[in-house]
Every structure is written in C-alpha cells, then in structure tokens.
Amino acid sequence: MFSFDYHRPADVAGAARAGGTADARFLAGGQSLVQAMKLRLAQPAALVDLGTVPGLAGISVQGSTLRIGAMTRHSAVAASADVRRAIPALAALAEGIGDPMVRNAGTLGGSIAHADPAACYPAGMLGLGATVVTDRRSIPGDAFFTGLFETALEPGELVVAVDFAVPARAAYLKFKHPASRFAMVGVFVSQGAGGVRVGVTGVKSAAFRWREAEAALAGGFRPAALDGLELDPSDVNGDMHGSAAYRAALVATLTKRAVEQANAPVAGAPA
C-alpha cells in the first residue's frame, strides 16, 4: 500500500469538507475501492471514512417512496421488513449480491457511486425510477449513470440516500458470473404509477433502460408482448464469458422471465 491521509468525519458536513480536498475518496464498505487501491488502479491522497458518519444508514418508507441511506449494507436491505414489504424485488436483488462478506460490508451508496457496468443496483435504480439524494442536490436516477465507472456526481459530492418509487409489481433476474456473482446480464422490470420500466445491467458500458421493451410492455405487461424483441448485438458488449449475441439473447430471455415473475401471485397473499 502507498501512504494516504485517513479522515473520520463526525458528520455529513465534515465528510463533504474532507471529501472536497484534492484526490480524496470516500470509503464506504471498501469492497471495490480497496481492491482498486491494491491494484494501483486508484491512488487517493486521502480516504474519508463514512463508517462513523451518523444518519447515512437506514431505511424508511414514506407513502410511495422507499428511502435507503447511502451507508446501508446490502445485507440490511435484503433483511429489511420494510423493503420486503414495499419492493420485495429490491430485497431479492440485494440478497443476490456477491457473497455474505460482500453483502455485510458493501453499501448502496458505494455501489452506485462506483458504477460498475455489471453491478446490480444500477438496474434496480433504472428499473424502478429512483432519485439520488446528495449533500448538494437531487439527481434523477435516469441521469445518474453516464459511462463506464462514471456518474453525474461532481468531485467530492456525497451520496446521502436513494429514493426508490414503490411499484405495483417488480422482479429482478440476473445471470450470474459464476466466479464473482456480478451480473453477466441483469434485468429489473417494474410496473407502477410511472408506467413500465426495464433496467438492464452487464450489457453495455453503463446500465440503461431498454425503452423498446418498455413500450412493448406498456401495451400489455406479459411475456408474450416481448416476442421477437431483442437488442441489437452490435451495440452489446461481448467478452470471454459471453459473446454480444449471447448477451443480447440473455437480455430478451431474462426480461420475459422477469415479467412472468413480477406477475406471479405473492406467496401467502389472498387469491
């Protein structure tokens, strides 16, 4: 390891101050940042530890909005009764991230700020309709992911929470990379007051909404509405784990299955 300054701010204002210094990086669960530092892909001059900042972790539901604090661990989202009741598909998404160690350390804020092109939460943000709340402003989820490991966050801008719109029905399905369990392809579908949304991850340099599928499903939220629809493989990433054509086919298949799952009756609910 190279040397760097280490800050433990007492509050959000202190974190924002320390995070605003040149080459400083926020440290959340460390599941992506520390690995990048070990590989020298990141060499911050200072780490600003968010672990001691009060008020950044927590889950609440207000009306049709589910708010999850940036420092909320994946395991807490997966286990939350509020999330399971409001958006069970989001609890399932969190439950499927990595392994228990990753889920007990990794956070929502770290995941979306890192913007890994194969991460799960970006699909959930786009597939549900979300708003990212920072220490400076609110950023529409649709405008948040701007490229490979790139977001709309400005240098030193701190994610405080994410507001998710509670849908009528939703599902997330991913085809896991067998080693890392990141998404080779992940699809989050929902239907709610804002219409139909389909968020896709693992396929391009950043997560995106599959607008053609959304339009097709708006006419009828059932798998058959997607018959014959597929992404253009020339616009899809391919690698040693799966060709572009394979990933495009996976997106189509998983989207259909996700719609089917979203429509399935909830166990224990009255018929």
Ligand X SMILES: Cc1cc2nc3c(=O)[nH]c(=O)nc-3n(C[C@H](O)[C@H](O)[C@H](O)COP(=O)(O)OP(=O)(O)OC[C@H]3O[C@@H](n4cnc5c(N)ncnc54)[C@H](O)[C@@H]3O)c2cc1C
CB of 156 to ligand X, least distance (A): 9
Instruction: Give the residue, chosen from 164, 182, 210, 221, that forms a contact with ligand X under the rule CB under 6 A.
Output: 182
CB of 122 to ligand X, least distance (A): 8
Taking CB under 6 A as the rule, does residue 146 contact ligand X? no
Instruction: Give the residue, chosen from 28, 78, 173, 216, that forms a contact with ligand X under the rule CB under 6 A.
Output: 28
Taking CB under 6 A as the rule, does residue 97 contact ligand X? yes
Instruction: Give the residue, chosen from 18, 27, 207, 252, that forms a contact with ligand X under the rule CB under 6 A.
Output: 27
Judged by CB, which is closer to ligand X: 20, or 98? 98
Instruction: Give the residue, chosen from 76, 158, 170, 262, that forms a contact with ligand X under the rule CB under 6 A.
Output: 158
Taking CB under 6 A as the rule, does residue 53 contact ligand X? no
CB of 206 to ligand X, least distance (A): 13
Q: Which of residues 198-237 bind ligand X (CB under 6 A)?
A: none
Report the C-alpha gap between 31 and 106 in whole angstroms: 6
Judged by CB, which is closer to ligand X: 6, or 218? 6
DSSP string across the chain: ----EEE--SSHHHHHHHHTSTTEEEESS-TTHHHHHHTTS---SEEEEGGG-TTSS-EEEETTEEEEETT-BHHHHHH-HHHHHH-HHHHHHHHTSS-HHHHHH-BHHHHHHHT-TT-SHHHHHHHH-EEEEESS-EEEGGGTEEETTEESPPTTPPEEEEEEEPPSEEEEEEEE-TTT--EEEEEEEEEETTEEEEEEESSSSS-EE-HHHHHHHHT--SGGGGTT----GGGS--BTTB-HHHHHHHHHHHHHHHHHHHHSPPTTS--
Judged by CB, which is closer to ligand X: 124, or 167? 124
Judged by CB, which is closer to ligand X: 42, or 244? 42
Instruction: Give the residue, chosen from 120, 126, 226, 236, that forms a contact with ligand X under the rule CB under 6 A.
Output: 120
**Which residues of this protein are in contact with ligand X, per CB under 6 A?**
25-33, 50, 70, 97-98, 102, 105-107, 109-111, 113-114, 116, 119-121, 158-159, 180-182
